[in-house]
Amino acid sequence: MRIPRNPLIYEINTWVWLADLSRRFGRPMTLGTVPSEVFDELMAWRLHLVWAMGVWERSPRGRQIALEHAGLQFEFERALPGFTPEQVVGSPYAVHRYTVDTRLGGRDELASFRARLHERNIGLILDYVPNHVAVDHPWTVEHPAALVQGTEDDLAARSGSYFRVPENGLIFAHGRDPYWPAWTDTAQVDAFSAEGREQSRAIVLDIASQCDGIRCDMAMLVLNSVFSRVWDRPDVPDTEFWDEIIPAVKARYPDFVLMAEVYWDMEAELQARGFDFTYDKRLYDRLLYENVHTVRDHLLAASSYQRKCVRFIENHDEARALTAFGLERSRAAATIIAALPGAKLFHDGQFEGRRVRIPVQLGERPAETPLEYLITFYRRLLTEVSAASYREGVFMALAAQPILGSDTGHENILAFAWALGEDWRIVVVNYSDQPVKGRILLPRPAFAGLASWRFDDVLHPGNPVLRTGDDLLIGGLPVELPGYGAQILVVMKSQ
């Protein structure tokens, strides 16, 4: 299926999501037995893609490592007090085999799940981990040349970074990145070997036959520049790993969506390699740790780049938005990211205000009371940004000016607009904790004249504002917002 521009993506932790549904409906739930009303609820959020995180077969050895890891035990207890070993299912990023886990329903039930999403014009995204597989993946026996091998000296000197396979005695490196210790439940893929690339391509093509898009974990780790540095490898291939993968996928599935998790300012490089979307972690960090000025500067990047960014304020790797940002700032940040160009990623539980981030090795999560007023906010927000103007219109930044010369509060206002013919939507956010006033300059010649124009705030319906066109062109639109207040204004000519 063809995915629209600036899509809305919803991430579910599949194992946890099904466990929640099992409790809700009072019976065991798999991908093929999800009730129709649940798909209708997803459709009601105006979603374009569901990312079913963690459908692949978990590593038995990886699960055992998780159960023996003291640090993870602490995290499990924090997230799910009184957890039992049965609730630890292992990491979805230590893939045993790229086969849909039978406990989730298997391949046929995934196909049914996808078909039922398609009936509601929702596509399906699945995971792919290019950098590593599980320590007990079949490649350790069947395709050892696809993995980074080590020596007895490597194992003796860095036992935390290498491991021996019991079946054949071979030594392999654990997967890692340049900045963190090795992931001891994984084996490192050799991104430079012909065998590694051939086997990886086969896996990606098989995944692509089962879904409409792939989210590629830590996609920058297999770039030649990164891989050669991490593993001190001078044998750099003439081509990039992704140059052998992405064209093969696109040739077979032209509308397929490829989304890269990427950091270290390598987003543009991966976009150039053919990724449709790349994580915008820098915007997340600026929204969380910095101020509106850096956010405003961030949005000055070229529109061709912006349209390929994935905006988010939480996902399974980050703290829950309500915990990280607080209530008011999380709503302001959500308004910003939802109304920007590019893909918008939302996380299961974000709409309800969940606060507990669940380690990915757990298969269940604690009950939390939904915040109905937050659900209402997100319902209004996602309904608004599903309008055609946000997909097909022109995005433009707007300037804010003071109402009084000595008032600098306007500097904390972030404003932008979408225009699709006569349809204008104006987003105004006070990204500070203090009340502000300002005037938003609106470069719209159609305002000229004495006609009245109506501004309806879809986030706070019921109090429209009327302004004369000439006043708008000359003085701008006056706004007054509380700390972290936000408005999305639909502009209409008053009758």
Q: Tokens in use for 218? A: 């830590």
Tell me: the pLDDT tens digits for 16-46?
A: 999 999 999 999 999 999 999 999 999 999 9
Give a yes or no: residue 45 inside a domain. Answer: yes
The mean pLDDT value for 133-160 works out to 96
Q: Is the pLDDT of residue 105 over 70?
A: yes
3-state secondary structure of 426: strand
Q: Are residues 118 and 209 in the same domain?
A: yes
Supply the mean pLDDT for the chain. 96
Residue 31: inside a domain, yes or no? yes
Q: Quick one: 308 and 454 in the same domain?
A: no
Give the end of a domain, one of 375, 390, 405: 390
The share of the chain scoring above pLDDT 70, in percent, equals 100
Phi, psi of 221 (to 5 degrees): -70, -20
DSSP code of residue 313: S
**Which residue matches tokens 């997909």?**
391
How far apart (Å, rounded) are the C-alpha atoms in residues 227 and 109?
37
Flag whether 183 is in a domain: yes
CA-closest candidate to residue 211, choices 122, 131, 277, 97: 122
The highest-confidence range among 65-74, 260-269, 464-473, by mean pLDDT, is 260-269
89 Cβ contact list (under 8 Å, min separation 6): 15, 58, 63, 361, 362, 363
User: Which CATH number characterizes residue 445's domain?
Assistant: 2.60.40.1180
Domain match, 234 and 137 both: yes
162 shares a domain with 100: yes
Provide the domain limits for residue 456: 393-493
Q: Are 274 and 227 in contact (CB under 8 A)?
A: no
The DSSP-derived string for 114-148 is HHHHHTTT-EEEEEE-SSEEETT-THHHH-GGGB-
What is the rounded average pLDDT of the residues 396-418?
Answer: 91
With a cut of 80, say whether residue 53 has pLDDT above it. Answer: yes
Task: Judge whether residue 405 has pLDDT over 90.
Answer: no
- Residues 386 and 449 placed together within one structural domain of the fold: no
Asked whether residue 229 is assigned to any structural domain, the reply reads yes
Q: Does one domain contain both 214 and 196? A: yes
Whole-angstrom distance, CA of residue 87 vs CA of residue 70: 16
Task: Answer whether residue 2 is part of any domain.
Answer: no
Asked whether the beta carbons of 309 and 337 are under 8 A apart, the reply is no
β-sheet bridge partners, residue 213: 125, 257
CATH number at 271 reads 3.20.20.80
Q: What is the DSSP letter of 453?
A: E
Gyration radius of the chain over CA positions: 24
Distances, alpha carbon 317 to alpha carbons 156, 332, 335, 362, in Å: 32, 21, 21, 14
Counting Cα atoms < 13 Å in the Cβ hemisphere of 15 gives: 25
Per residue in 276-296, pLDDT (tens digit) is 999 999 999 999 999 999 999
Q: Find the mean pLDDT for residues 150-170.
A: 94
Contacts of 203 (CB under 8 A, 6+ apart): 98, 128
What's the whole-number mean pLDDT along residues 145-160?
94
417 and 374 inside one domain = no
Residues 278 and 218 occupy one common structural domain: yes
Q: Is the pLDDT of residue 358 over 70?
A: yes
Task: Tell me, yes or no, whether 281 lies in a domain.
Answer: yes
Rounded mean pLDDT, 206-224: 98
Residue 394 structure tokens: 């022109």
Task: Please state whether beta strands 423-430 and 413-420 pair in parallel, antiparallel, or not at all (unpaired).
Answer: antiparallel
**140 and 255 share one domain:** yes
- Domain final residue, candidates 342, 366, 390: 390
How confident is the model over 338-364, as a mean pLDDT?
97
> 290: exposed, middle or buried (C-beta count within 10 Å: 0-12, 13-18, 19+)?
middle
Nearest alpha-carbon partner for 423 in 384, 466, 476, 463: 384
In a domain, 1, yes or no: no
Give residue 406's pLDDT. Answer: 74
At 466 the three-state DSSP class reads strand
Indicate the pTM of the whole model.
0.96
pLDDT of residue 415: 97
- Residue 271: what pLDDT? 98
> What average pLDDT does the segment 162-188 reach?
95
pLDDT band at 494 (very low <50, low <70, confident <90, very high): confident
Please give the tally of structural domains in the chain. Answer: 2
Does the pLDDT of residue 431 top 90, yes or no? Answer: yes
- Kindly indicate the confidence band of residue 495, based on its pLDDT and cuts at 50, 70 and 90: low
Q: What pLDDT was estimated at residue 407?
A: 82
Per-residue pLDDT, averaged over 125-129, amounts to: 98
- Note the pLDDT tens digit of each residue in 222-233: 999 999 999 999
d(C-alpha 210, C-alpha 111), whole Å = 7
State which of 357, 390, 423 marks the end of a domain: 390
66 and 183 assigned to the same domain: yes
Q: Is residue 237 part of a domain?
A: yes
Question: Looking at the structure, do residues 212 and 258 belong to the same domain, yes or no?
Answer: yes
309 and 424 fall within a common domain: no
8-13/49-53 β-pairing = parallel
